[in-house]
Chains A and B, each alone.
Chain A
Amino acid sequence: MDLLDVSLVNWSRAQFALTAMYHWLFVPLTLGLGVIMSIMETLYLKTGNEAWKKATQFWMTLFGVNFAIGVATGIILEFQFGTNWSNYSWFVGDIFGAPLAIEAIFAFFMEATFISVMFFGWNKVSKKFHLASTWLTVFGATLSALWILVANAWMQYPVGMEFNPDTVRNEMIDFWSILLSPVALNKFLHTVLSGWVMGALFVIGVSAWFLLKKRSVDFALKSMMVGAIFGVVSSLLVAFTGDGSAYNVTQRQPMKLAAMEGLYEGKAGAGLVAFGILNPDKKSYNDNENPYLFKVEIPYMLSLLGYRDVNAFVPGVKNVIDGGYPTPDGKQPLSFVEKQARGKAAIQSLANYQLAVNNKDTAAAALHKAQLKENYPQFGYGYLDRPEQLIPHVPTVFYSFHAMVMLGMYFILLFSLVLFYTYKKKIENANWLLRASLWSIPLGYIAGELGWAVAEVGRQPWAIQDVLPLQAAISSISTDSVKITFFLFLILFTALLIAEIRIMLKQIKKGPEEA
């Protein structure tokens, strides 16, 4: 492994992270604002009140700006798979390709078809057909997200496949177990709902601006009510599915959970760190430094949330490396050293199998294939030299997770207050709450990015959990070319972001009357 250029891996990771994070600035607003404008158009159809039509058209224009600037930014991620991560691309075979192809063919074209009716069809198609087109556009966007998130979930929890040593690819044997894996379902719900929260934050924030400016008050109050109700519901659902995410992580990615909690030594009846500051002097997983300078802990909560049992043992970083800790099903997890030995055996079996095939020795080929299959679940450990390579960057994961959770709780409070004040018809005079709503728009974006940081940094070093680390997934290309494209993307995406903000602000200032 030392022969590999570490900076190539890091620059490729940075490039992927940059692209994904910029892409995620556009997606959540599309998902959330899309549903809100569809609800408003439904209200227009039901009541016949032109004010709802005006409100729908205003938010639809902003949806269009966001959609147009953000569309296809995710395709760059697919470019990177083929160039920077070609071993990975080949290795995952049709499992990753199938969901992405379905996304491109079905969901995207559905969006593209109905979005034109949505924008051009006012007064040209019937009200019901227009409303159906609006909902179908949003449904298409959500379906796009489903396939992408299914592919991502498979990387976190690879199921439904079998490795074929002849083609060196993981081949899909059970589509439904990939689509309906608990990780995929929960990831889809949690991620889409976080987009809904973003949409609600955007709507109450922009509406708050109108109320602060005393402009388009009726429109702003109507939008505020829809945004707040939608926000309360979606933020509570985000919390519920967030619990599901943490449960899945506990079961399937214990190292990620340990990093999320800064937990080095596991224990039964583990508490949840509500707030904490990590000790920067903690340099190694097996030194005697206290991991925290300060922490406020909720007793037993981590065991309860992770295993639905207040007395369950939650493994820390050291336990995951040493193995042998108690689990609810009574199985003894392997240590790093044992997994490493199995991984190396699997890789050796792959080499031996090919040799046997070349020599037309069918008996030996069958033997090596069976050995490969037996050790395949630990295949990726064969690329790791030291147990420390298993540990993600704990401060990034820990602080991202805790900041995300705190922001999530803040959003529930904010939406509840906005709903209460709007219902009591006091929101117009609650300037402090209007300002809080306005300045909370960026917090929604930050929370979404932090969520991805937890999910993706937390699963390092794996490209595919336990099966393929990044070092083995990368292509042998020049680091300089990756650096150049990193900065090209930085320029391109920053220009797009500036364009989005400028056009968005211009449209907002025009107000609903000109939408």
Chain B
Amino acid sequence: MSLITALKVFKMKAPKFISNLYLFYRDGFTNMTVGKTLWLIIFIKLFIMFVILRIFFFPNILNSNFDSEDGKASHVRKELIDNSK
């Protein structure tokens, strides 16, 4: 099959594939029972982790204090040398 033929076949079949995929997930999510509770727990957990903990409690120390890679390296070098004294 040439590339052009393959593209034509894909163009004909793609909408059906996308619509099947949509229906697959729509039906899956609609028919969930315990899954609905689990998704709720997942979203609450991810919100707490990424929105609250990550932003307010877990800044990346080096990224927040230094703009360049050299700056980060110099800081760590200083810490490594000073901590040994």
Contact = CB atoms under 8 A, between A and B. Distances in A.
B9 interface: no
Interface string B47-85: 011000110011111110000010011001101110110
Nearest to A62: B34
A91 B38 CA distance: 38
A488 B83 contact: no
A146 to B, nearest CB: 24
B35 A86 contact: no
Instruction: Determine the main DSSP class of B at the interface with A.
Output: helix
A75 interface: yes
Interface residues of A, number: 53
B58 A68 contact: no
Interface in A139-168: 166-168
Given A61-B34, A124-B24, A383-B84, A80 B58 contact: yes
B71 to A, nearest CB: 11
Contacts of A119: 28, 35
B34 A65 contact: yes
Contacts, number: 114
Contact of B61 (A116, A351, A354, A475): A475
Contact of A477 (B29, B61, B76): B61
A162 B9 CA distance: 52
A343 B84 CA distance: 10
B42 interface: yes
B2 interface: no
B64 to A, nearest CB: 9
Contacts of B79: 87, 472, 476
A82 interface: yes
A288 B53 CA distance: 50
Interface residues of B, number: 35
Interface string A108-127: 00000000100111001000
A303 interface: no
B77 A344 contact: no
Given A168-B80, A344-B84, A499-B41, A83 B61 contact: yes
Given A4-B83, A76-B49, A120-B25, A507 B76 contact: no
Contacts of A83: 57-61
Interface of A: 1, 4, 61, 64-65, 68-69, 71-73, 75-76, 79-80, 82-83, 86-87, 89-91, 116, 119-121, 124, 166-169, 343-344, 347, 350-351, 354, 382-383, 471-472, 475-477, 481, 484-485, 488, 492, 496, 499, 503, 506-507
16 contacts: A68-B41, A83-B61, A86-B76, A90-B73, A116-B28, A120-B29, A168-B76, A343-B84, A344-B84, A347-B84, A350-B80, A350-B81, A383-B83, A472-B79, A472-B83, A477-B61
Interface of B: 24-25, 27-29, 34-35, 37-39, 41-42, 45-46, 48-49, 53-54, 57-63, 69, 72-73, 76-77, 79-81, 83-84
